[in-house]
């Protein structure tokens, strides 16, 4: 029997899922298999996404605008991030789904302090995250390396850089020990520069070229629930598939087949 509307299917009704961990993601990267990632913030969407083939789920700071209705990402709090990480994790556990969970660690939550970053990153890990994402700023290499040396997996986040900035960005990522980076609003030339400098570092493209290890899209954009009219979605997943689960599966299939997902910033 299907689960009631808005609820999560019981484990007994579902086949066992193959675990997603950092080793498997690295194996996918090495073999050339694309990684499908989404941003999501609740139990039902997280479970549905994972059961549809999504490998990574990001609980991002922009949920404060897209999910909570605030006017700026700067309104995000660590309490809110930890709460939504817990929701996502509980949803995955309830559905015996095993996506890799990432959570934003905004600079406003640690202010360049390595000890504070460690404390707050640990809280997100305890809430269920497997990795924290941090923006590349002047403190990134120092703080991220401090975390990685102490067992906290770190993902970098780069937005809108040009080709001439690629080498310094790659150097910062390499120094940090991060093995995953989200490249937002960049072209293929930048992706290739970073990937060439860091061949073992996985890359997720967000409004980026197709030469990344995988693609990242928010659940709201995937379902056409965004006010940003300048986004050019490569596939109208929901209208073509007729269901949310079908839309997620179609997105995963497009990523695996290296079909452009969406463009524009």
| Residue 4: band (very low, low, confident or very high) from pLDDT cuts 50, 70, 90 | low
Structure confidence at residue 239 as a pLDDT band (50, 70, 90): confident
Least confident of 4-18, 52-66, 90-104: 4-18
> Do 9 and 2 contact (CB within 8 A), yes or no?
yes
pLDDT at residue 227 above 60? no
Instruction: For residue 33, indicate whether it is catalytic.
Output: no
Average pLDDT score over residue span 85-114:
93
Catalytic residue among 184, 189, 193, 235: 184
The pairing of beta strand 232-233 with beta strand 262-263: antiparallel
CATH code matching the domain that covers 17-263, chosen among 3.30.428.10, 3.20.20.60, 3.40.1160.10, 1.10.1670.10: 3.20.20.60
Band (3; pLDDT cuts 50, 70, 90): low
Top pLDDT among 263 and 219 is at 219
Examine the pLDDT at 1 and tell me if it is beyond 90: no
- State pLDDT tens for residues 27-77: 999 999 999 999 999 999 999 999 999 999 999 988 665 565 545 456 678
């Amino acid at each position: 029997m299907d689960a009631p509307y808005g609820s999560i299917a019981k484990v007994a009704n579902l086949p066992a899922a193959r675990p997603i961990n950092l080793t498997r993601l690295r194996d996918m990267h090495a073999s050339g298999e694309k990684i499908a990632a989404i941003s999501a913030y609740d139990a039902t969407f997280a479970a549905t996404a994972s059961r549809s083939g999504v490998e990574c789920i990001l609980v991002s700071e922009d949920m404060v605008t897209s999910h909570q209705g605030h006017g700026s990402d700067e309104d995000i709090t660590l309490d809110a991030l930890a709460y939504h990480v817990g929701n996502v994790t509980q949803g995955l556990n309830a559905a015996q789904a095993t996506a890799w969970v990432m959570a934003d660690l905004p600079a406003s939550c640690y202010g360049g302090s390595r000890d504070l970053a460690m404390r707050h990153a640990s809280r997100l890990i305890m809430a269920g995250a497997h990795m924290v994402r941090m923006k590349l700023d002047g403190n990134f290499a120092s703080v991220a390396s401090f975390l990685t040396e102490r067992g906290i997996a770190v993902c970098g986040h780069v937005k809108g850089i040009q080709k001439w900035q690629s080498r310094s960005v790659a150097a910062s990522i390499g120094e940090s020990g991060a093995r995953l980076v989200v490249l937002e609003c960049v072209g293929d030339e930048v992706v290739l520069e970073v990937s060439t400098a860091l061949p073992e570092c996985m890359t997720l493209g967000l409004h980026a070229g197709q030469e990344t290890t995988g693609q990242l899209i928010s659940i709201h954009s995937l379902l056409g629930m965004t006010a940003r009219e300048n986004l050019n979605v490569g596939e109208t997943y929901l209208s073509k598939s007729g269901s949310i689960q079908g839309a997620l599966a179609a997105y995963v299939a497009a990523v695996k087949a290296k079909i452009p997902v969406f463009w524009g910033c």
